[in-house]
Structure 1
Amino acid sequence: MRTIVKGLIAGAAGTSALNVASYLDMVVRGRAASSTPEQAVDRLARRADVNLGEGEQAENRKQALGALLGYGTGAGAALGYALLTARRRPPWPVGVVALTALAMLGSNGPLTALGVTDPREWPPSSWVSDVIPHLAYGITAYAAYAVMDG
């Protein structure tokens, strides 16, 4: 149980860092928030035949559910890491890369599978917008987990 709790706490810390990095990038470059989480929610709702409402109400639900999917991804990536490394924590570079990769796969994998995005077609600026916040996630989640691990 302790491993699960540590993983979830590390995921929450990492997700907070990812959000801060994303918002700072939006401020610096003056870019809008990504609409891919809302698009994913829309496609999932259609596939599951779930009615999210009409008009503004539906758009607000998509936005909220998209954000919640992000929190779930962050929690899941760190939880997976915690379970995989419960017996032996890897050195920090390996752990940071593993957590970063788990978070990127957890977010971009489903988006790609749903046809919302295709990372093979991203320009360099999109990769920067994706890698840097996920790296902030990986560093912070690893540090949080390491601190709790003693």
Structure 2
Amino acid sequence: MDTLVKGLIAGAAGTSALNLVTYLDMVIRGRGSSSTPQQAVEKLTDLADVDLGEAERAENRKQALGSLMGYGTGAGAALCYALLSARRRPPWPAGVLALTALAMLGSNAPLTALGVTDPREWPASSWVSDAVPHLAYGITAYAAYEMLRA
């Protein structure tokens, strides 16, 4: 199986794990979903001068596009990892940390660049809420990629 296909499958598995952990956190703590993906979509559509339609439809599209950006980030992080590790298998701790870092950077760097968030101002609880699902992504994407590689 091609490296890119394996990376995409690993990214899908990792993104599913990230979403599962995020939704469990929402259930356990009774918290709402993050609005940062929709805010990013709003900033990007403003920058690109794209009209998402009338108010209710625009809000629904922002929500959907925000979720799709998350899937794109998950796919992109695993694709980068697959390309970087195609010739040499890093030990599992390094692979998990690399995938976790790629996913966190892939989601937080654009949000920071757009001015939607600033991780430097996050309290510890926000870092934990961000890091734990991304670690689930890293573990799952690494396991999936290595199983496909075998």
TM-score bracket, normalised by the shorter chain, equals over 0.9
Shift of 1:56: 0.9
Between the aligned partners of 2:90 and 2:61, the Cα distance in structure 1 is 39
The amino acid of 1:121's aligned partner reads E
Between the aligned partners of 1:54 and 1:20, the Cα distance in structure 2 is 32
Between the aligned partners of 2:125 and 2:19, the Cα distance in structure 1 is 18
In the other structure, the counterpart of 1:77 is: 77
In the other structure, the counterpart of 1:50 is: 50
Shift of 1:97: 0.2
CA distances 1:103-141 after superposition (whole Å, capped 9, x unpaired): 000000000000000000011111111000000000000
Equivalent residues in 2 for 1:85-124 (5 A)? 85-124=85-124
Q: Which runs of 5+ in 2 are unaligned?
A: none
In the other structure, the counterpart of 1:13 is: 13
Shift of 1:89: 1.3
In the other structure, the counterpart of 2:29 is: 29
Q: Which runs of 5+ in 1 are unaligned?
A: none
Secondary structure at the counterpart of residue 53 of structure 1: coil
Between the aligned partners of 1:131 and 1:53, the Cα distance in structure 2 is 35
RMSD: 0.7
Shift of 1:54: 1.7
Q: TM-score, normalised by structure 2?
A: 0.99
Between the aligned partners of 1:143 and 1:34, the Cα distance in structure 2 is 27
Task: Say how many residue pairs are matched.
Answer: 150
The amino acid of 1:49's aligned partner reads D
CA distances 1:3-50 after superposition (whole Å, capped 9, x unpaired): 000000000000000000000000111100000000000000000000
Runs of 4+ residues over 3 Å off in structure 1: none
In the other structure, the counterpart of 2:132 is: 132
Between the aligned partners of 1:27 and 1:124, the Cα distance in structure 2 is 20
CA distances 1:43-82 after superposition (whole Å, capped 9, x unpaired): 0000000001121100000000000000000000000000
Between the aligned partners of 1:123 and 1:22, the Cα distance in structure 2 is 18
Secondary structure at the counterpart of residue 58 of structure 2: helix
Secondary structure at the counterpart of residue 89 of structure 1: coil
